[in-house]
A and B are shown apart, each in its own frame.
Chain A
Amino acid sequence: MISRRALEIVTAALTGIFGVAVVVSSIDNGIGWSSAGVDAGTFPFLTGTIVVLGSLYNLAQGALGRSTLASVTVAVTRSELGRLAGLFVPAAIFVAAIPILGMYVASAGYVFAVLALPKRQSVLHAIVIAVVTPVALYVVFERLFQVSLPHGALAGALGY
Chain B
Amino acid sequence: MENLESLLHGFTIAVTVPHLALMVVGVLLGILVGVLPGLGAPNGVSLLLPLTFGMQPVSAIILLSSMYWGALFGGSVTSILFNIPGEPSSVATTFDGYPMARDGRPTTALATAFGSAAFGALVGVILITFLASWVAQVALAFGPAEYFAVYFLAFASFVGMGGSAPIKTVVALAIGFAIAAIGIDTVSGSVRLTMGVDELVKGVSFVVAVMGLFGIGELLIAVEEEFQARAVSSKVEWREVFRALGQLPRHSVALLRSAAIGCWMGITPGGPTAASFMSYGIAKRFSRNGHRFGTGEVEGIIAPETADHAAGTSALLPMLSLGIPGSATAAVMMGGLMIWGLNPGPMLFVDQKDFVWGLIASMYVGNIVAVVLVLLTVPVFAALMRIPFVVIAPLIVIICAVGAYSVSNSYLDVVLMLGFGIVGYLFKKLYYPLAPLVLAIVIGDKAEDAFRQSMLMSKGSLGIFFENRLVTSLVVAGMALLLLPLALQILRLWRGPGEAAQEKARII
Show the binding face of A for B, using Cβ within 8 Å: 7-8, 10-11, 14-15, 18-19, 21-22, 25-26, 29, 33, 36-41, 43-44, 47-48, 50-51, 54-55, 57-58, 61, 67-69, 75-76, 80, 83-84, 86-88, 90-92, 94-95, 98-99, 103, 107, 110-111, 114-115, 120-121, 129, 133, 137, 141, 145, 147-150
Contacts and interface: CB of A to CB of B under 8 A. Distances in A.
Contacts of B174: 19, 47-48, 50-51, 54
30 contacts: A7-B426, A11-B427, A11-B432, A14-B426, A21-B195, A26-B181, A29-B190, A40-B188, A43-B181, A43-B448, A44-B181, A47-B178, A51-B178, A61-B167, A80-B224, A83-B226, A84-B223, A88-B220, A88-B421, A92-B418, A94-B394, A95-B415, A98-B401, A110-B394, A114-B390, A129-B391, A141-B406, A149-B402, A149-B406, A150-B411
Interface stretch (B243-251, B343-351, B449-457): B449-457
A69 B418 CA distance: 27
Given A37-B452, A47-B178, A50-B171, 13 more contacts: A15-B175, A37-B187, A38-B452, A41-B192, A43-B448, A48-B174, A55-B171, A58-B171, A87-B219, A91-B394, A103-B405, A121-B388, A150-B405
Q: State which size class the interface on B falls in.
A: 35 or more
Nearest to A99: B411
B143 interface: no
Contacts of B226: 80, 83
B500 interface: no
Main secondary structure of the interface of A (DSSP, over half): helix
Contact of A18 (B164, B175, B393): B175
Contacts of A8: 430
Contacts of A103: 401-402, 405
Contacts of B398: 94, 107, 110-111, 133, 137
The 9 A-B pairs at the shortest CB distance, nearest first, are namely A54-B171, A47-B177, A50-B174, A44-B181, A40-B188, A47-B174, A37-B456, A40-B185, A51-B174
B475 interface: no
B409 interface: yes
Contact of A147 (B50, B175, B193, B414): B50
A54 B423 CA distance: 16
A137 B401 CA distance: 12
A133 B395 contact: yes
B167 A43 contact: no
A34 B430 CA distance: 41
A1 to B, nearest CB: 13
Interface string B404-431: 0110010100110010011101110111
Given A44-B178, A84-B220, A94 B390 contact: no
A137 B402 contact: yes
Nearest to B190: A40
Contacts of B9: none
B24 to A, nearest CB: 17
Contacts of B219: 87
Given A14-B426, A121-B391, A44 B193 contact: yes
